[in-house]
């Protein structure tokens, strides 16, 4: 029996604002067409589209986006697809758990009033709550998208369209190895640098601590969009 497929597509042009973009609505249409060829239904029970030319519950406020994300990962045994096209940003980390002091974000249409959705919140709603026996594909078409979900594997395209996989776990192991070498060196300069590397590596692994946990399902300024990075993450 094939897995039930669900999709959530978000496109925000920030129409009429100083942050206006072009093409995010079209991005959603293009991805919806692609998904139709991959066996995803456009039935409202299986696909939700949020755009800022739509109203009500389909208007991409922060509240509506998180509610839709909770809906996406609310059923076990599903293949889920999340696409976001819009602005990405960065905010200060209020927890102090990230050595950089910065969290990557995505920006709802009302981000100036209600705030941005940071990587910790996005991970909590989209990844940590994902039920058993489910798969999640994510495309974030925005700036600062590389660590917006803190996933172990991401695929990033360069300016020429070549796609490369980034193994975040391997990067974390590499940082730990470099830190260990510096600790063995023993000088005061090396110790400071090693501590920084160790903190970075620890943060890599801390971000994966929820992977595989079973939890109750929930229900509920950038450059022009043409040069936004595209990140595909797979859980």
Q: HSE of 140 in the Cβ direction (CA atoms, 13 Å)? A: 28
Radius of gyration of the chain (CA): 19
Report the distance separating Cα 149 and Cα 142, nearest Å: 13
Token digits for 139?
A: 């495309």
Q: Catalytic one among 25, 83, 87, 123?
A: 87
Report the distance separating Cα 146 and Cα 130, nearest Å: 20
Single out the residue of 122, 126, 115, 129 nearest to residue 145, CA to CA. 122
107 as an active site residue: the answer is no
Token digits for 11?
A: 């496109």
87 as an active site residue: the answer is yes
Strands 135-141 and 230-234: antiparallel
Give the DSSP letter string of 80-136.
EEEEEES-EEEEE-SSS-STTSEEEEE--TTHHHH--EEHHHHHIIIIITPPTT-EE
Q: Show the CA angle centred on residue 10, arms to residues 44 and 139, nearest 5°.
A: 110
Q: Catalytic one among 24, 107, 142, 143?
A: 143
| Residue positions annotated with a catalytic role | 87, 143
């Amino acid at each position: 029996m094939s897995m039930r497929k669900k999709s959530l597509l978000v496109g925000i042009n920030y129409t009429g604002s100083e942050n206006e973009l072009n093409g995010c609505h079209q991005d959603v249409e293009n991805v919806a067409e692609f998904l139709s060829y991959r066996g995803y239904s456009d039935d409202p029970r299986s696909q939700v589209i949020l755009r800022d030319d739509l109203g009500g519950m389909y208007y991409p406020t922060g509240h509506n986006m998180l509610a839709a994300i909770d809906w996406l990962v609310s059923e076990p045994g599903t293949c889920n697809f999340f696409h976001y096209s819009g602005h990405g940003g960065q905010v200060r980390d209020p927890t102090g758990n990230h050595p950089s002091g910065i969290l990557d974000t995505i920006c709802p249409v009302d981000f100036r009033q209600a705030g941005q959705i940071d990587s910790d919140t996005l991970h909590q709603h989209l990844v940590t709550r994902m039920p058993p026996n489910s798969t999640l594909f994510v495309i974030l078409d925005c700036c600062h998208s590389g660590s917006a979900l803190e996933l172990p594997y991401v695929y990033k395209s360069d300016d020429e369209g070549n796609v490369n996989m980034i193994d975040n776990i391997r990067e974390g192991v590499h940082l730990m190895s470099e830190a260990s070498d510096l600790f063995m060196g023993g000088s005061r300069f090396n110790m400071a640098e090693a501590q920084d590397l160790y903190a970075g590596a620890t943060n890599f692994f801390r971000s994966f601590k929820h992977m595989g946990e079973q939890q109750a399902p929930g229900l509920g300024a950038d450059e022009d969009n043409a040069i936004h990075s595209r990140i595909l993450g797979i859980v």
